[in-house]
Amino acid sequence: MTPELLAGLLAVAVVALFVRLITLERRLNERLREFQSAVVDGLDRSSSLHKERMDQVAAGQRDWAQRTEVQLEKMRETVDEKLHKTLEERLGRSFKLVSDRLEAVQKGLVEMQAVAGDVGDLKKVLSNVKTSGILGEVQLANLLEQLLTPDQYEVNAKTKPGSAAHVEFAIKMPGRDGASGAPVLLPIDAKFPQTDYHNLQIALDAGDKIAAEAARKSLVSSIKTFAKDISSRYLAPPHTTDFGIMFLPVEGLFAEVVRQPGLIEVLQRDYKVIVTGPTTLSAILHSLQMGFRTLAIQQRSSEVWDVLGAVKTEFKRFGDVLGKTQKKLSDAHDELEKLIGTRTRMMLSKLRSVEELPSAEATALLENTPDSEDESDA
């Protein structure tokens, strides 16, 4: 083979190789443009899908929040309605009891004013009563029956342990342990020094000052004797109160005793005895009845507080459950954000790494394609 022929063949081979390289470069550019277009389409579809999913998640969250808010509002309305209804019923009954007692006290005050206006006539009417002991006991029994309930006082009560003496009446006061403990008895004994009071009325009507003064001294002595008898026979703290009540059935007699200088203080200090008349005892019994009613209201109020405590406990549990639910929602939202953000960035990172493959690996990958194999066979 001549050098000229060899040079010609070499030139033909070089030209063929150059044409093949140009063809390969053109195909490589076309493949790169197709791959770039596919990547852009994939990114567009991924962005559209991500936006659609985000819209669906946001809509689901809004719908769930609305349903939760509606349910919470229904629960709040139910709790408020039950609490308001319970409080209204309990407090309504309590205030009605207090109102009734206040009306009774006002009525008693009106009656006291009416009785005070007829004191003079009452003294004359009662000055000739022979059955003084029976009168005082019957009048005291009527007052207790009208102003107290049967379970709030005792008749012929034995107040002093170890003694056979029985007081006519004794009011049951709340003990130290409240309603569960034994009651403390308040002795009430009716006394009527009829002879001394009758002599005093005769002396006053006759204008005899000496006889009136003597009758007053005798009356004071009798009252002190009665007080000493009540103190020694019926008072025994803590089984009883540390004081007793002497009931005088005539307002005029009570007024005369009150007018004696220092007598009331002596009876209270030395004998622990309080002297009362019908009007005064009625006021005391009204006050005691109000105290009993107040104690009952306090017990009912404790029931209301128990209901409020139970509602508070349930509301606290509701708040704990709501807090846990809110935490779970927050965790789910964080996981969703993490999934969307991290995975998307990972996909974009993978795509960017594909574009940055070394040229040698890209050439090897392209040479292994079916088109390259067909051209090699040709």
Mean pLDDT, rounded, for 66-73: 86
Angle at CA 174, nearest 5°, toward 169 and 175? Answer: 105
Residue 159, domain member (yes or no): yes
Question: What is the arrangement of strands in the sheet containing 153-157, beginning at the earlier edge strand?
Answer: 153-157, 167-173, 184-190, 244-247, 273-276
Q: What is the mean pLDDT of the chain?
A: 77
- The answer to whether residue 375 sits within a structural domain is no
pLDDT confidence of residue 226: 92
Domain that holds residue 126: 118-276
Cα separation, 341 vs 334, whole angstroms = 10
Highest mean pLDDT among 87-91, 106-110, 220-224: 220-224
Lowest mean pLDDT among 17-26, 165-174, 315-324: 315-324
Q: How far apart are CA 252 and CA 269, in angstroms?
A: 24
Q: What is the mean pLDDT of residues 19-28?
A: 84
SS3 at position 331: helix
In a domain, 21, yes or no: no
At 112 the pLDDT is 73
- Residue 1 in any domain: the answer is no
Q: How many domains in the chain? A: 1
Rounded to the nearest 10 degrees, the angle between the axes of helix 278-355 and helix 251-259 is 90
Tell me the C-alpha distance between 66 and 277, whole Å: 73
Judged against a pLDDT cut of 80, whether residue 97 lies above it is answered with yes
DSSP state of 167: E
CA distance 166 to 233: 8
- 177 within some domain: yes
In DSSP notation, 213-261 reads: HHHHHHHHHHHHHHHHHHHHHH--TTTB-S-EEEEPS-HHHHHHHHHST
Of residues 1 and 114, more confidence is placed in: 114
Residue 215 has pLDDT above 80, yes or no: yes
Residue 187 belongs to a domain: yes
Establish if 123 belongs to a structural domain: yes
Q: Report pLDDT for 225.
A: 92
The model's pTM is 0.45
Residue 91 pLDDT level (bands cut at 50, 70, 90) = confident
- The stretch 89-117 carries a mean pLDDT of 77
Q: Is residue 52 part of a domain?
A: no
Share of the chain above pLDDT 90, in %: 6
| pLDDT score, position 130 | 46
